[in-house]
Amino acid sequence: MYSLISIKNMKAKVIGILHEIRPEFDFTEDVNFIEQGMLDSFDIVLLVTMLEERFNTKINGMDIMADNFASVESIIKLLNKKKIKL
């Protein structure tokens, strides 16, 4: 399991990536990014690529579903499944 510092670090990295993709939105809000129109399918493809590069992992096609990218917490949960080490 991750320490609090690692979780904060992972959260900061994920928010940073999201801001690179869509700088006009506040990804610290507790909303569903997909439902609010903050991310669309093209953004998710780019997000997957960036997450794979930055966290040195591979996200399976079966994991590329809106629910896994609806919030920072859901993205971190997906990364945790991949046993990401910071």
Q: Which domains does the chain have, with CATH numbers?
A: 4-81 (1.10.1200.10)
- The amino acid occupying position 64 is I
Q: Give the per-residue pLDDT at 8.
A: 86
- Quick check: 84 pLDDT over 90? no
The predicted-structure confidence for 26-53, as pLDDT tens digits, reads as follows 999 999 999 999 999 999 999 999 999 9
**Those residues with Cβ within 8 angstroms of residue 39's Cβ, 6 or more apart along the chain or in another chain:** 18, 21, 22, 33, 47, 69
Check residues 86 and 73 and name the one with the higher pLDDT: 73
The predicted-structure confidence for 47-81, as pLDDT tens digits, reads as follows 999 999 999 899 999 999 999 999 999 999 999 88
- Asked if 77 contacts 2 with a C-beta cutoff of 8 angstroms, the reply is no
Check residues 83 and 65 and name the one with the higher pLDDT: 65
